[in-house]
Structure 1
Amino acid sequence: MNNLLNLTQFFPYQLAKLQAMISDSIAEIYLGEFNLSKQEWRVLAILANESSLNAKEIGNKTNLEKMPTSRAIKKLVQSKLLEKVSNTKDKRSTLLTLTEKGQTLFNQLAPLVKAREQEILSVLNSQERATLNETFRKLEKITEQISTQPK
Structure 2
Amino acid sequence: MASIFLSASLCLADAQIVYDAPEKKLIDFSQHSPYIQYYKDHLTDYEKEPFDGITLRLTKEAGNGDIFMVDNWAKVTAEVKEAELKLASSLKASTMLTDNLLVLFGGSQMDWFSDEDWAKTEEHIRYAVGVARAAKCKGILWDPEPYKPGKNPWK
Report the TM-score range of the alignment, normalised by the length of the smaller protein: under 0.3
Q: TM-score, normalised by structure 1?
A: 0.24
Q: Report which of the two structures shows the higher radius of gyration computed on alpha carbons.
A: 2
- Larger strand fraction of residues: 2
Q: TM-score, normalised by structure 2?
A: 0.23
